[in-house]
Amino acid sequence: MSAQTMKGFEQLEGLPEAVFKRLYQQPATALAIFRRMLPNLAKTFVMAMLFNPDPVPISNLEHWVHPDKNSLKEEAFAKLRQLYLVTEKQGTFALDPTFKNELRKALTGGGLPGSFGLPCDTDDKNKVDVAFLDKYATEQWESILHFMVGNEIPSFKRPSEGVVRLLLHGKLMEQSRMSSDPVITQVGFSFLLQEANSQVWTLLLLYLDMAEQVKEMNTNLWKLDLIIIICASQLRMDPVDILHFLFLLGSLELGQDYDMKNLTPTQKGMLEDLRDYGVVYQRKVCNAFEFLTRWISLITLKSSSRRFYPTRLATALTSEIRSIRSPAASLQNATSQGDGNGFLIIETNYRLYAYTSSPLQIAVLNIFAKLISRFPNLVTARITRDSIRQAISKGITAEQIIDYMTVNAHPQLRKNSPVLPPTVVDQIRLWQIEGERMKTTPGYLFKEFSTTSEFNAVCRYANDLGVLVWADHNKGNLFVSKHEQIADYIRKRAHAGR
């Protein structure tokens, strides 16, 4: 499911050049982008250029790549260009000077103290431990999930207005005509089945999106109303500041308290919201001094402690793509859904027994199984073709369903290997394929090449770029998902031929 997270990052890749240039001004962000957004080969290229004062000839970099792996090379180059990390001049690559500087600082130390978060120098009187943070993060996060499936449970409080607005903005929920409370949408359902880290990223990127939109319209609204001031945590937010802070959070240490005096006003405002999501923990205090500063800055709305603790949700943000699973899994272990507490039993006859009374879990089950009967601590359900097809039509994949069932399998079921009955797993996959009788790819068909050699060259080039979808060598047809670079290439060849 890291694919989902990657989708989030693709959204970031569309940012304009100026934004990237400003993003690179912080060592924590430079490091996070290096760690998280670059493929391994691109990292190697960056490292080759990092401590080199002169631009590096592209041919030198190409020497490092096996001739068979041209597609990897093109992917790495494309990514470097896309993120505006390199400038190309007369066949040489030069690393963006700001990025170069900041990444050097990040790797070798140096730069301003506190560029990776400023730990508090005094002891917290009310120090909290990791277990508390885990509990806090889980409670906050689950209260959002519970709210999405429409459960009002006394033990979970309703998420704040900010969270509700965010869910509405992201179309995870929509206002219904029937009741005053919003109801979950199909997008919301598939969100529920994602693993925690992707969920966090999805929400944070939505947050970024919303902050940008509010920024556009805020200028006139500013003085209108006190309510606007209450929303001020969303007003006057700079997307670059937000991203800096998100990337910074990813490099903080769990269990350590950080001082917020280094943060910009935007980031201080963000802390309010992040606290609601359970991404950071901040103790609320109220004193006269804070009351005054509140009127001066208009940013710190609810008075709060000057220290904040990142939770596991925050520290997992920019971990390596492959290790996403582990921090999320450790969070799950900390919650009631851990290994020892699985609640699902699936039999080979497609019957499903869920030892749970949690409305959230039952609501999630209802997404892909047909519920039959409910007892105080047990729900029985059945997986049918219709229930799976319905889930798939909502954009949920068979893998998501299987993952969910595996993660939540009852200890009794866990003794088996494989955990889930293979017949059921295979059948769920088959039901998915059934709906995919045809695969569609939008793009461009190129045909009527004048010579075979031209066709072959274009074909190879498209393959290296990774845009080739299909080619018929006999008839000389090829289909690509993007045409701009291909068209350029054909034009260049035509020029060279003349």
Partner 1 sequence: MVRAIKGTLVECDPSIKAIILDIDSKTHDIINLDESHLIIKDSKVAELKRILEERLNEHTKVDSLEEEEEEEDD
Binding interface with partner 1 (CB under 8 A):
382, 384-386, 435, 437-450, 454, 458, 469-470, 472, 475, 477, 479, 483, 487, 490
Least gap, CB of 443 to partner 1 (angstroms): 6
Closest CB to partner 1 among residues 81, 475: 475
Q: How far is the CB of 430 from partner 1 (least distance, A)?
A: 12
CA distances, 96 to each of 53, 325, 337 (Å): 12, 32, 45
The least distance separating partner 1 from the CB of residue 495, rounded to whole angstroms, comes to 14
131 or 372: whose CB is closer to partner 1? 372
Cα–Cα distance for residue pair 44/38, rounded to 1 Å: 10
* Nearest distance in Å: CB 367, partner 1: 19
- Shortest distance in whole angstroms from residue 384 CB to partner 1: 6
The smaller minimum CB distance to partner 1, of residues 51 and 470, is found at: 470
- Nearest CB to partner 1, comparing residues 68 and 436: 436
Instruction: Report the alpha-carbon angle 380-384-389, nearest 5.
Output: 130
- CB of 459 vs partner 1, minimal distance in Å: 12
First to last CA, the chain: 50
Residues of 463-475 as b/e, b for ≥16 C-beta within 10 angstroms?
Answer: bbbebbeebeeee
Q: Of 111 and 443, which has the nearer Cβ to partner 1?
A: 443
Residue 469's H or E segment, with its range, is strand 468-472
Rounded CA-CA distance 473/453 in Å is 11
Return the structure tokens found at 490.
């054909």
**Helix 130-148 × helix 359-368 angle, to 10°:** 50
Burial class (CB in 10 A: 0-12, 13-18, 19+), 279: buried
User: In whole angstroms, how close is the CB of 475 to partner 1 at the nearest point?
Assistant: 8
Q: How far is the CB of 462 from partner 1 (least distance, A)?
A: 12
Looking at residue 158, what DSSP letter applies?
Answer: P
Q: Residue 202 has which token pair?
A: 């999805």
Q: What's the closest the beta carbon of residue 427 comes to partner 1, in angstroms? A: 12
Measured from the CB atom, is 228 or 490 closer to partner 1?
A: 490
Q: What span, in angstroms and rounded, lies between the C-alpha atoms of 105 and 28?
A: 9
For residues 185 and 172, give the distance between their C-alpha atoms in angstroms, rounded to a whole number. 5
Task: Indicate the residue among 309 and 455 with the shorter CB distance to partner 1.
Answer: 455
Please state the length of the chain.
498
Q: How far is the CB of 82 from partner 1 (least distance, A)?
A: 23
Asked whether 234 and 270 are in contact (CB, 8 A), the reply is no
What's the CA angle centered on 192, arms 428 and 375, to 5 degrees?
75
The SS3 assignment for 373 reads strand
- Specify the residue, 135 or 493, whose C-beta has the smaller distance to partner 1: 493
195 exposed, middle or buried (CB, 10 Å; 0-12, 13-18, 19+)?
buried
Q: Which sign, positive or negative, has the C-alpha torsion 323, 327, 329, 330?
A: positive
The residue among 174 and 472 lying less far from partner 1, judged by its C-beta, is: 472
Label residue 95 exposed, middle or buried (CB < 10 Å: 0-12, 13-18, 19+). Answer: buried
Least spacing, CB of residue 375 vs partner 1, in Å:
16
462 closest CA partner among 447, 445, 440, 482: 482
Separation between Cα atoms, residue 94 and residue 53, nearest integer Å: 9
Of 171 and 473, nearer to partner 1 (C-beta) is: 473
At 135, list the tokens. 């509990």
Beta carbon nearer to partner 1, 152 or 472? 472
